[in-house]
Structure 1
Amino acid sequence: MPVYVRYLLSQLAVPTMVAVIAVAGAVWLSQSLRLFDLIVNKGLPATTFLWLTALLFPSLLLVVLPLALLVATIFTYARLWNDSELIALKASGRSDLDLAKPALYLAAIVTLVCYLISMVLMPAGARAFKDLEHEIRNSYTFVLLQEGVFNAPAPGVTVYVEQRQPDGSLSGLLVDDARNPDAASTITAERGVLVTVGDEPRLVLERGTRQERAPDGRVSALHFDAYTVDLTTLSDDEDSYRWRKPKERYLSELLWPADDVDDQKNRTRLISAAHDRLTTPLAPIVLVLIALAVLLPADLDRRGHGKRIALAVALATVQQLVQLAATSFTINSLTFLPLFYLAQIVPAVLAILVLTGQIGRRRSRRPSLPGGPQGVARAGA
């Protein structure tokens, strides 16, 4: 590997890592803020919260890696241009394509990582995240029942817990069930314990009273030493079945939907997601090619270099918008599927043609350094 390739790779590596950490941290923080409520108000253990946020990370990386690499490429090549290092390399006979190769090598590695995330890590993480979230909502009764507040886990049901003991038991409970107007009841108990029978959560109450109001206004009371409330009735029956969204599915499940009603109803959506999954990981190479095709064939006049940076960002943004538009169009009609591939292939081919000199003309084939003989001497050094 030539020395200049190793040098450019080393210059690209650090900004890329910094950009990945900065962008991923910001996006991860914004996504995880909605989960803080599970700890602050719902009593979810911190370990479960950390595991939930870790499961979100693969899908975040799939978005962050291409953008971070684009930012690092623009930053690095702009700095090298301003420091006249790229000018010296051009004066030594290196073509634009030669100077682009280090960034393309790095983009190829990032693309492989993105394919690994897209095909394996993201669906596995999204599936585990949704399963755990579903379990928390329907089975983890400690999330449903919090102390010191009137909980409303379902319409018509109010549960109050006065205090949660260190051993996990509950004290000072009140359960008001008005789902059936003809048999509304209120249960009070000194103590309660949350247990799980099979996969179903139950609340075992001790030393309490159950009062039921009849339609004619009469109230009957039942004093008990032990009474069990089945908390699975607090969730809707439809929650027992959950259709897996496209992000939770592997590629084969997207390309060939099952024969059940829900999959066939969302067949177009699933197939669209499959082609998006196949093309999205190409973004690192395409975005880097766009940036290099704009920055490298630049004139020696630095006054317009800021405009080239802005143009590179604008073109990269347009490419990503076309990719998003393809997703939006194909959800309604699969006739727009070629847009996924055109959004990646067309800008990549045009950028390669620019870098190889087949599109656009530069003022000179081999630029000379500014500053006359001193500049030439510097290039030789």
Structure 2
Amino acid sequence: MRILSRYVFRQAVGSFLLILASLTGIVWIALALRQFNVVTSQGQDTWMLIRMTSLAVPNLMAIIAPFSFLIAALQTLNRLNTDSELIVLSAAGSKVWTVARPLMLLALLVSLFLAFVGHIAQPWSMRLLSDYLVQVRSDLLTQVIQPGRFSSPEPDLMFHIRDRSADGELLGLVMHDTRDKAQTQSYLAEHGSIVKQDGTAYLVMSTGHIIRRTDADAPPQIVAFDKYVVDLDRFEPQDDASGERKPRERYWSELTQPSPDSKLYKSSPGQFRAEIHERLVGPLYPIAFVFLIVAFVGQARSTRSSRMQSLVLTFLFAATCRMAGLALNSAVTRDASMLVALYAVPTIAIVLSLIVIKRADRQRSGSALFGRIRDMASAMADLAIRLVMPRRKAAT
């Protein structure tokens, strides 16, 4: 049995790693194509694109890894059944747990991997990605924008500079911002420079004017300034509390014990609650998946059509459970009472699988007992025939 367990474990691990690498590659390519404007329009090199897209992958591991394990386990059991290995084990009296143990070990390893990603890898990668975004936004003005040319880093936002000094100072700066449809603003400054502080980049403008227009029929408002500072984080979608770490960028201690002065926690405590429980419930899904697989696919079957139907239904049921968990995690942000349903999804899947496995064992035990009784009856009938036939021959 140890040899069999090692064999099943090697098959499952090989399939899992291959599927995980394939899905991760597909996701990485999709992210790279989505962020290709970092190279084309924001003047960064290819290495920066690779780093930014790679740092976003751990954030998706909570979805990629469980589905990779689900597909790998289903493929492994299907191969064992196709090669008649499950049928041989069943005929030899082996129980379903013989094949389930190596799969459960792999599920436990995947759960530990998800816990590592959620508590360590994801916050680290998200923090580093945030720092890279600050660098890209600041480099946009200091390196990318060319004197005498109009540049638009995002829709409804335009920059223009007359010249750039040797120390990187921007001369003759014009910034036209129409992202807010209720108010159009134009900034004109003689000098401008980029200042980085506490992980945030600021555009400091000197000696200029701000032209605001809130009504097309009303005259514009003109505000003169000696120095004006613009937060470049406004160029990206941000939370209400700018400058604070988002929940996914925080480690466990920072989530469970946020600062009392945190504006983000005061305005959106549900985001912290949802992130905390997502990191706890996420590792439960590989365990729930392996119980579902053992319950509905772990039995040996000789009919190929019914086997394929079980594979498809098991995958759909497991995928539905995971999607329901993601939806409930979003609901937890708004309503704390949804926490019960969040933990109930993997728990119900495990309990339901155990019930199915128990019933299958009872049916198998009953059929085995019926087979023994039938064999005993057949043997007794043969013995009776042997005893009766000599007497008939003697009488004749």
TM-score by length of 1: 0.75
Q: Structure 2: which amino acid aligns with 1:60?
A: L
Name which one, 1 or 2, has greater alpha-carbon Rg.
2
Say if 1:231 and 1:109 are closer, same or farther in 2 by CA, change over 3 A: farther
Q: Is contact 2:168-2:193 (8 Å) kept? A: no
Q: Cα 1:34–1:178, aligned 2, differ >3 Å: closer, same or farther? A: closer
Q: Which residue of 2 aligns with 1:252?
A: 253
Distance 1:137 1:124 in 2: 20
Aligned length: 340
Could you tell me which amino acid in structure 2 is paired with residue 2 of structure 1?
Answer: R
Shift of 1:43: 1.1
CA drift at 1:39: 1.0
2:288 is equivalent to residue 286 of structure 1: yes
Q: Residue 319 of structure 2: SS of its match in structure 1?
A: helix
Deviation at 1:14, TM superposition (A): 1.7
- 274-283 or 135-144, which moves further after superposition? 135-144
- 1:312 is matched with which residue? 314
- Residue 126 of structure 1 aligns with which residue? 126
Kept after mapping to 1: 8 A contact 2:172/2:188: no
Q: CA deviation at 1:257?
A: 3.5
CA RMSD of aligned residues (A): 4.1
Residue 7 of structure 1: aligned partner: 7
CA contact (8 A) 2:28 2:57 kept: yes
Alpha-carbon distance between aligned partners in 2 of 1:40 and 1:74, rounded to the nearest angstrom: 42
Give the structure 2 partner of residue 342 of structure 1: 344
* TM superposition shift of 1:343: 1.3
- Provide the residue aligned with 1:225 in structure 2: none
Question: Per-residue deviation at 1:279?
Answer: 0.6
- Do the aligned residues in 1 keep the contact of 2:296 with 2:310 (CA within 8 Å)? yes
Q: Larger relative contact order (C-alpha < 8 A, sep ≥ 6)?
A: 1
* SS of residue matched to 1:361: helix
Whole-angstrom CA distance in 1 between matches of 2:330 and 2:361: 32
Partner of 2:274: 272
Distance 1:157 1:304, change over 3 A: closer
Map residues 1-381 of structure 1 onto 2, 5 A cutoff: 2-138=2-138, 141-142=141-142, 145-146=145-146, 149-152=149-152, 158-159=159-160, 175-176=173-174, 199=197, 233=230, 235=232, 241-260=242-261, 261-357=263-359, 361-362=363-364, 364-365=367-368
Once the two structures are TM-superposed, the CA of residue 303 in structure 1 deviates from its matched residue by: 2.8
Residues 101 and 143 from structure 1, CA distance in 2 versus in 1: closer, same or farther, beyond 3 angstroms? farther
Distance 1:273 1:53 in 2: 22
Q: Is the 8 A contact 1:73 1:291 kept in 2?
A: yes
Find the residue that maps to 1:337 and give its secondary structure. helix
Distance 1:30 1:336 in 2: 32
> Does structure 2 conserve the Cα–Cα contact (< 8 Å) formed by 1:43 and 1:142?
no
1:38 aligned partner, one-letter code = V
In 2, Cα distance between the equivalents of 1:291 and 1:148?
A: 64
Q: Which moved more, 1:78-87 or 1:229-238?
A: 229-238
Moved more, 28-37 or 271-280: 28-37
Q: Would you say the 8 A contact 1:28–1:57 is kept in 2?
A: yes
Between the aligned partners of 2:120 and 2:48, the Cα distance in structure 1 is: 22
Q: Given the two structures, how large is their TM-score scaled by the length of structure 2?
A: 0.72
Task: State the AA in 2 paired with 1:288.
Answer: V
Structure 2 gap segments, 5+ residues each: 178-183, 212-225, 372-396
Deviation, 1:231, is: 9.4
| Cα separation, 1, equivalents of 2:145 and 2:333 | 40
